[in-house]
A and B are shown apart, each in its own frame.
Chain A
Amino acid sequence: MPSTVVAGSFCYRRVTVGKLSYMNVVVCVKQIPDPADPGALDPTTKTLKRDGKLILDESDSYGVEMALQLVGDSGEVTLVSMAPNGEVSGLRTALAMGAAKAVLVSDDALKGSDSLTTAKVLAKAIGRAGDYDLVLAATESSDGYTGTVPEQIAEVLGLPSVTFAKSITVDGSSIKVDRQTEAGYDEVTCPLPAVVSVTAGVVEPRYPSFKGIMAAKSKPVDQVGIADLGLDAGAVGWAGAGQEIVEVVAAEAREAGEVIEDDGEAYNRIVTFLSDLKVI
């Protein structure tokens, strides 16, 4: 029986079949400013400020969980991340969940990178992570939400891919993915190695245990710059970006209307509102 990760299930059982008795999964994890803090733009670069402490993007916690469930105790999860200032706090969270090691790309020259450059850098970092069967990412990040990076990584690596995965089942040297669609979901088969993007909320990310947190402190983080990846500073960051922000303007604000306290009769106001609009 193939190992299955089903949305909402908490079984960590893994029964391997076919060639893949041991599985290596790479998970792309973005480290982002705490979404609870109000975002701000850097006035000169007009991009999101990312200079404070960064945390693991919640969107990626689902990929980490899914990877851990897929490998069980016969495989390894490796993280890759691109972040400024050698930031590792988000990586430590995912290592504490159970990932074995991480590759972190951190370089001043990367500031201003667009999603295409990000994908090229991450693809190189994945190459450094060792042999892998599967690369996971989130369908979209919380702070950038371009939703294009996973597919770009797949194209750079020349791999097949499935986006919007709700569940992944390993079956020999291929996977079966339930891919979310407008109307429901599609069952998709895909040969390995492959890149899969995981939809938010489809598994319950585990909380790091105390033991996990302690162990994470000594897990290896391979920190590299772009030169280590064989990339040229002129091809990344602001220099390599194929797009530029020309203007940021305040949007037309929607005016707040009337706000009333419910005195037990407020429902009547809704009825009147709807009937004035001839909706009822």
Chain B
Amino acid sequence: MTVSKIWVFAEGSGGVVSSITCEMLAKARELAGTVECVWAGGDADAVAATLGAHGASKVLSVGDLGGSLAGVPVASAIAAAVAAGNGPDAIMLGTTYDGRDVAGRLSVKLDAPVITNVVDIVERDGGLAGVEPIFGGTQNVFTKFTGDKVGIFLVRPKSFAAEETGGGAAAVEALAGGDAGSSAGATIVTRHVEEKSGPQLDEAAVVVSGGRGLGEVANFQLIEDLAKALGAAPGASRAIVDAGWVPYSYQVGQTGKVVKPTVYIAAGISGATQHLVGMKGSKHIIAINKDPEAPIFSVADLGIVGDVHKVLPKLLEALQNR
């Protein structure tokens, strides 16, 4: 192995570890002999079993952040460990709200760049290279760090398959916080959680997404109804999220969720590269679009050139009559 120790910035809430954390652990195990997690929150003991089962030997706990956003305290703690000579060779963070914050802060503290949008990490010439898809995933760019600093990788969700190793609970150790200094102060005062029923978008076996081709916001009901009939999660292109038809949590794509369901149905979505990178990994893709030239057809297993206002109501009726 080219590197001996990798840290994974572990995330989760309510004692539940996020999928991307387990995905990164699976990859980290392949690349390094020692894999440890950095955890922010007062409940490290609650996640030690899950993290251990996925291959982490230690949970390095930054402790309860007391409402502070994660970027400053977590990066300070990691940087302090690196300065003390206890740091890893590389650190993997998810492309998440907090993961990006920590990576950006850490990058400056360590004076090391971040390799972003990574979907794979491979060994190259005695070091690690991050693989980033560009131009809608048609080409892959391999990037290596040039110096001997800690390699910081921001990993896209659903890049690796999570897998348990059967290991026991990870040992919890405190990761002493560094000094936040003048950058401290951003504090969460209230959390607002949008209630949602039905399967989670990024975990559903079937996803039905709608785009601008639906014409108007009222027609999104068709997508919701279809999703319900299929036990699927509804999704959306950014065009209709930006237009305010549906909340951001519905967005599939580069800036939204990455989904890999068994079946992805795209209705009235053109298939812009930024949308494709979020759903191209689906096992089967069905697209409905009135434009035979729409790029979405280049990735569809079944493409219907037709009007969503004609196809979807009939499809819904047929499904409801089964």
Q: Chain A interface (Cβ within 8 Å of chain B)?
A: 8, 39, 41, 46, 114-116, 119, 139-140, 145-152, 154-156, 158-164, 176, 179-191, 194, 199-201, 241-251, 253-254, 256-262, 264, 266-271, 273-274, 277, 279-280
Contact = CB atoms under 8 A, between A and B. Distances in A.
Contact of B112 (A116, A184, A270): A116
B304 A270 contact: yes
30 contacts: A39-B134, A41-B134, A41-B139, A114-B113, A115-B114, A119-B104, A145-B116, A148-B154, A155-B107, A160-B182, A160-B185, A179-B188, A180-B248, A181-B191, A183-B249, A187-B190, A187-B192, A190-B186, A200-B255, A251-B137, A253-B138, A254-B280, A259-B297, A259-B303, A267-B311, A268-B318, A270-B315, A273-B301, A279-B263, A280-B319
A114 B182 CA distance: 25
Interface of B: 69, 71-72, 75, 95-97, 100-101, 103-105, 107-109, 111-117, 124-125, 129, 133-135, 137-147, 149, 154, 181-194, 205-206, 230, 238, 241-242, 244, 248-249, 254-255, 262-263, 265, 280, 284, 286, 292, 297-307, 310-312, 314-315, 318-319, 322
Contacts of A184: 191-194, 249
B111 A116 contact: yes
Contact of A267 (B71, B129, B184, B318): B318
- Prevailing SS type, chain B contact patch: mixed
A253 B133 CA distance: 12
A262 B138 contact: no
Contact of A257 (B138, B302, B306): B302
Nearest to A257: B301
A78 B103 CA distance: 27
A188 to B, nearest CB: 5
Contacts of A200: 238, 242, 255
Nearest to A155: B108
Contact of B139 (A164, A201, A248, A277): A248
A270 B302 contact: yes
A163 B189 contact: no
Given A161-B183, A200-B255, A271-B319, 4 more contacts: A115-B107, A116-B114, A180-B248, A188-B188
Nearest to A193: B182
B183 A154 contact: yes
Contact of A39 (B75, B135, B304, B305): B135
Nearest to B191: A186
Given A201-B242, A264-B310, A279-B262, A242 B141 contact: no
Contacts of A267: 311-312, 314-315, 318
A269 B302 contact: yes
A246 B125 CA distance: 10
A94 B284 CA distance: 43
A259 B300 contact: yes
Given A116-B113, A161-B71, A148 B138 contact: no
A181 to B, nearest CB: 6
Contacts of A152: 104-105, 107-108
Given A162-B69, A181-B97, A183-B194, A246 B189 contact: no
A258 B302 contact: yes
A277 B284 contact: yes
Nearest to A269: B302
Instruction: Report, nearest first, the 9 A-B pairs whose CB atoms are least far apart.
Output: A262-B306, A151-B104, A201-B242, A259-B303, A257-B301, A155-B108, A160-B185, A267-B315, A184-B194
Contacts of B112: 116, 242
Nearest to B137: A251
A270 B267 CA distance: 12
Contact of A187 (B116, B189, B284): B189
Contacts of B255: 139-140, 145, 200
